[in-house]
Chains A and B, each alone.
Chain A
Amino acid sequence: MVTLKKSLGSIVANLVTIFISLLVLIPMVVLLLNSFKTQGESNKMSLSLPKEWVFANYKTVIEQGKLVSSFFNSLLYATCSVLIIVIVVAAAAFVIARNRKGINNFIYYFILSGIAIPINNVALMKVLQALDLVNTRLGIILVYAAINIPLSLFLSYGFISTIPREIDEAAVIDGCGPIKLFVSIILPLLKPIISTLFVLNFMAVWNDFTMPLYYLNNSAKWPMTLAVYNFFGAFENSWNLVSADIILTLLPVLIIFILGQKYIVGGVAAGSVKG
């Protein structure tokens, strides 16, 4: 009797799990199927297989949706801004975590206030104009770096505090200066938090669409999200094409996610458990 109850419980638990996974998967499967249908058939969304498989949808989307150039733009913006974030944040967090007195303490709270600061697009536009960065790739990369620095600093500060200071002392006795200490001793120890920062910020930048909406008016510089958004506006009645477009935008992120799953999930978890 007890074993029956137990196995019944495990069947129910498995069914619930499968149901929830389906709840997440079905929208994506519907889109995938839709992306191979004709326009008429795709207007009624369903889980049925396409009557005829229209692979040409993808060709149309790649040609009309500017997907190749926007893909490389997204890649460029995400990679460069993340590199900047990782370098400046690691250095800053190291110094602040080790010596949180006087000016450093002020700098820490000053940058952390950025977690709450609203992005005021008109004011930011004025600053970018003054710096001659409007509508440039460098401008958008720096903006992404700036708005993601506060939270990244917060996360790395927590991590560096867990590295014992005795390591620094030993390095100093061996004759390390501050730069050598940081680059050759501390930086290698920061690998876990750097991969977390890399992944979290990469995703944030890759998925953002408001910044280019305001600061890039040249469609040759658009990232993928904005290209999709415009494509959606132009082809709102061709759900097959829109679906194909969305699938192609999702693909790179999902591939990165599946490959880097360990770091993403691990990073998310470590970041929050450590605080």
Chain B
Amino acid sequence: MDRKKLYPWYFTSGALLIFFLLCFLPGIIGILYSFTDWNNFTDKINFVGFKNYVEVLKGKPEYRAYLWNTVLFTTVTTIMKTVVGLALALLLTQKVIKLKNFHRMVIFSPQVMSYLVVGLVFKSMLHPDTGFVNNFLKSVGLDIFAMNWLTDLKIVFATVMSVDTWKGMGYIMVVIIAGLMSISPDYYEAANIDGANFWQKFRLITLPLLKPIIINATILNVTYGFRVFDMIYSLTNGGPGNATGVINTAVYKEFSKGNYAMGTTLSSILFFALLLLVYFIIKSMENKEVDA
């Protein structure tokens, strides 16, 4: 059977064309511009080599702060979402829990809201004087915990990461529940006969069998974390100062200042970091296929 005839390449042409014109081409143009001094103030564009990259890595410390914040945000939210999601999944697959499906639905529901709306909701909930959180804490006598959630430099980043976890934990939970359901109960029965306790069963059966799913979820969380924008933009807009600034809020800032080249340099750094990650994703997926 002739595979070329049965599976003609032109079936890919629609996806290829749209992707090339409106995603790849602008992306590449942007990367090329990162080697220039392109800005909004002159029409002349000069080639400057790696000057912009050197500026990010060695110039003003705020650029390094953006990179560091992005890595910190990604690491912390990934760990929090995975741990909370896993714990919730284990909890919501226990027989004793009443109304399991209702709780699952509720905890998943923030996933369908836009980051913008979640940001606006929490901006109002966390307002120091009028917000619900502080009012509630004061009304139950816990005044010391009423804080300036979004303006105190010490806690603002933790607040932002917690809100992000609030939104994202349900997704990871649902994914892990699906994984738990696909584990054959025979393993647990065998373990019960051997007298294994809950912790042993979790460590020796559940966790190893969930590994591929946890890896997938981690990849999703990491690629999301690196690109985070809407959430931070609507909650703090990178402030106060640069305390919550990440790469994409910095890109937005540089663009609106007219420093197009600097903006594209920052997004290109993001691109190269993500490209490496995606490479590892695909590699790990393919290894998995060989194993199976």
Interface residues, chain A, with chain B CB atoms under 8 Å away: 9-10, 13-14, 16-18, 20-21, 23-28, 30-31, 43-47, 84, 87-89, 91-92, 94-96, 98-99, 101, 103-104, 107, 109-124, 126-128, 131, 142-143, 145-147, 149-150, 153, 158, 168-169, 172, 178, 181-182, 203, 206-210, 225, 228-229, 232, 239, 242-243, 246, 249-250, 253-254, 256-258, 261, 264-265, 268-270, 272-273, 275
Besides the contacts A122-B260, A265-B108, what 16 more A-B pairs have beta carbons closer than 8 Å? Answer: A10-B94, A14-B98, A17-B97, A20-B103, A21-B102, A24-B106, A24-B170, A46-B136, A89-B15, A91-B12, A98-B3, A113-B24, A123-B33, A146-B19, A206-B114, A257-B109
How near does chain A come to B270, taking the closest CB pair, in angstroms? 5
Given contacts A118-B270, A272-B217, contact A46 B132 (CB under 8 A): yes
With A9-B96, A116-B275 as given contacts, are A45 and B11 in contact (CB-CB < 8 Å)?
Answer: no
* Chain A residues, Cβ within 8 Å of B30: 118, 120, 122-123
Q: What are the residues of chain A within 8 A of B282 when measuring CB–CB? A: 109, 112
Q: Is A178 a contact partner of B12 (Cβ separation < 8 A)? A: no
**Interface status of B22 (Cβ within 8 A of chain A):** yes
Q: How close is B31's CB to chain A, nearest CB, in angstroms?
A: 8
Check A120–B11 contact: CB distance below 8 A.
no
Shortest CB-to-CB span from B176 to chain A, Å, is: 9
Contacts of B52 in A (CB 8 A): none
**A interface footprint on B222-233 (CB within 8 Å = 1, 0 otherwise):** 010001011000
Query: Does chain A have a CB within 8 A of B131?
Result: yes
Closest-CB distance, A130 to chain B (whole angstroms) = 9
**A44, A95, A110: the one within 8 Å of B8 (CB):** A95
Interface locus among B42-50, B54-62, B177-185, B237-245:
B177-185
**Chain A residues, Cβ within 8 Å of B160:** none
In whole angstroms, what is the CA distance A92 to B12 when docked?
Answer: 4
Instruction: Let me know if A87 and B14 touch, CB within 8 A.
Output: yes
Q: Which residues of chain B have C-beta atoms less than 8 A from A9's C-beta?
A: 96
> Contact between B268 and A118 (Cβ–Cβ < 8 Å)?
yes
In the complex, 26 of the A-B residue pairs with CB atoms within 8 angstroms, ordered by the A residue number, are A17-B92, A18-B103, A20-B88, A21-B102, A45-B132, A47-B136, A88-B15, A91-B15, A104-B9, A112-B282, A113-B24, A122-B255, A123-B30, A124-B22, A142-B22, A149-B19, A178-B11, A203-B111, A225-B117, A232-B120, A250-B117, A257-B112, A264-B112, A268-B174, A268-B178, A272-B213
**A118-B270, A123-B29, A208-B114 as given contacts; A242 in contact with B124, CB under 8 Å:** yes
Among B5, B139, B178, B213, find the residue whose CB has the most chain A CB atoms closer than 10 A. B178
Quick check: B122 and A27 within 8 Å, CB to CB?
A: yes
Nearest 6 Cβ contacts at the A-B interface? A120-B30, A269-B178, A207-B114, A10-B96, A88-B14, A146-B22
Is B113 an interface position by the 8 A CB rule?
yes
Take A17-B92, A209-B230, A268-B175 as given contacts and tell me if A149 and B15 are in contact as well, using a CB distance cutoff of 8 Å.
yes
Residue of B nearest to A109 (CB): B282
A17, B91: Cβ atoms closer than 8 Å: yes
Q: Are B130 and A43 in contact (CB under 8 A)?
A: yes
Of the residues A107, A119, A127, A232, contact of B12 by C-beta under 8 Å:
A107
Interface of A is mostly: helix
Q: Which residues of A contact B29 (CB under 8 A)?
A: 120, 123, 126-127
Q: A207-B115, A254-B109 are in contact. Are A111 and B26 (CB under 8 A)?
A: no
A117 touches B24 (CB 8 A): yes
Which of A24, A88, A178, A265 lies in contact with B174, CB distance below 8 A?
A265
List the A residue with the shortest CB-CB distance to B226.
Answer: A116
A89 to B278, CA, bound (A): 19
Min CB gap B277→A, angstroms: 7
CB distance from B99 to the nearest CB of A (A): 8
Q: Specify which of A16, A46, A95, A273 is in contact with B178 (CB 8 Å cutoff).
A: A273
Complex: A158 Cα to B285 Cα, angstroms: 10
Q: Residue B166 contacts which of A17, A23, A153 (CB distance < 8 angstroms)?
A: A23
**Smallest distance from the beta carbon of B106 to chain A beta carbons, Å?**
5
In the complex, the answer to whether B7 meets A94 with C-beta atoms within 8 Å is yes
- Judge whether B25 and A111 touch: CB under 8 Å: no
**Closest chain A residue, CB of each to CB of B276:** A116
Q: Is B203's beta carbon under 8 Å from chain A? A: no
- A246's closest neighbor in chain B, by CB? B117
User: 1/0 per position for B167-194, CB-CB distance to A under 8 A?
Assistant: 0001100110111001000000000000
Taking a contact as CB atoms under 8 Å apart, the answer to whether B264 and A30 are in contact is: no
Residue of A nearest to B30 (CB): A120
Residues of B within 8 A of A117 (CB): 23-24, 27, 271
